[in-house]
A and B are shown apart, each in its own frame.
Chain A
Amino acid sequence: MFAGIDLGSRNVKVALMDEKERLSLHKFDTVAFYRQHGRLEDGQLVVDLAGLGLGAIELKSLVSTGYGRQTINLKDAKNIPEIKAHVTGAVYLTGLKDFTLLDLGGQDSKVVKISKGRMMDFETNDRCAASTGRYLENMAAVLDIDMEELSRHYEDPVDLTSTCAIFGETELIGKVVEGYSTAQLAAGVNYTIFKRVKPMLIKLASPTIVFTGGVAQNRALLEIIRQELDVEVIVPENPQYVGSIGCAVTALKEV
Chain B
Amino acid sequence: MEKIGLTTTIPVEVIYAAGMVPVDLNNVFINHHNPQGLVEEAELAGYPRNICSWIKGMYSTVMQNDDIGTVIAVTQGDCSNTHALMETLLLAGVRVIPFAFPFDRDYDLLKLQIEKLMEALGVSWQQVKDAQKRLNKVRQRVWELDRLTWQQNKISGWDNHLYQVSCSDFNGDPELFGQQLDEYLAKVPDMPEIETQIRIGYMGVPPIMDDLYHYLEERGARVVYNETQRQFTMPFNTDDLVEQYRLYSYPYGIFYRLEDVQQQIKLRRLDGIIHYAQSFCYRQIEDMIVRQRLDVPILTLEGDKPNKLDARTRMRLDAFIEMLR
Contacts and interface: CB of A to CB of B under 8 A. Distances in A.
Main secondary structure of the interface of A (DSSP, over half): mixed
B318 interface: yes
Contact of A126 (B302, B319, B321): B302
Given A70-B311, A124-B312, A82 B319 contact: yes
A121 interface: yes
Nearest to B320: A122
A83 B315 CA distance: 8
B302 A119 contact: no
B311 A83 contact: no
Given A121-B297, A126-B302, A82 B323 contact: no
A71 B319 contact: no
Interface in B273-325: 297-298, 302, 304, 311-312, 314-316, 318-323
Contacts of A80: 322
Given A119-B323, A124-B312, A82 B302 contact: no
Given A121-B297, A122-B323, A81 B302 contact: no
A109 to B, nearest CB: 11
B311 A81 contact: no
Contacts of A167: none
Contact of A71 (B311, B318, B321): B311
A124 B323 contact: no
Contacts of B311: 67, 70-71
Contacts of A126: 302
Interface residues of A, number: 16
A67 B304 CA distance: 20
Interface string A147-169: 00000000000000000000000
Given A67-B311, A124-B312, A126-B302, A83 B297 contact: no
Given A120-B323, A122-B323, A82 B318 contact: yes
Given A81-B322, A84-B322, A121-B297, A70 B314 contact: yes
Interface in B101-115: none
A52 B286 CA distance: 49
Contacts of A118: 323
Contact of A83 (B302, B304, B319): B319
Given A121-B297, A126-B302, A83 B312 contact: no
B315 A119 contact: no
Interface string A98-124: 000000000000000000001111101
Nearest to B219: A81
B322 A119 contact: yes
A210 to B, nearest CB: 17
A143 to B, nearest CB: 29
A80 B312 CA distance: 15
A121 B324 CA distance: 10
A159 B322 CA distance: 39
Nearest to A68: B311
Contacts of A119: 319, 322-323
Among B315, B316, B322, the one with the most A-chain Cβ atoms within 10 Å of its Cβ is B315
Contact of A124 (B297, B316, B321, B322): B316
Contacts of B321: 81
B300 to A, nearest CB: 9
* Most chain A CB within a 10 A radius of its CB, from B312, B316, B319: B319
A82 B316 CA distance: 9
A124 B319 CA distance: 11
Interface string A54-82: 00000000000001001100000000111
**Lowest 5 A-B CB distances belong to which pairs?**
A81-B318, A83-B319, A70-B311, A81-B319, A119-B323
8 contacts: A80-B322, A81-B318, A83-B315, A84-B322, A120-B297, A121-B297, A122-B323, A124-B312
Interface of B: 297-298, 302, 304, 311-312, 314-316, 318-323
Given A67-B315, A70-B315, A81-B322, 9 more contacts: A67-B311, A81-B315, A81-B321, A82-B315, A82-B318, A83-B319, A84-B318, A119-B323, A122-B316
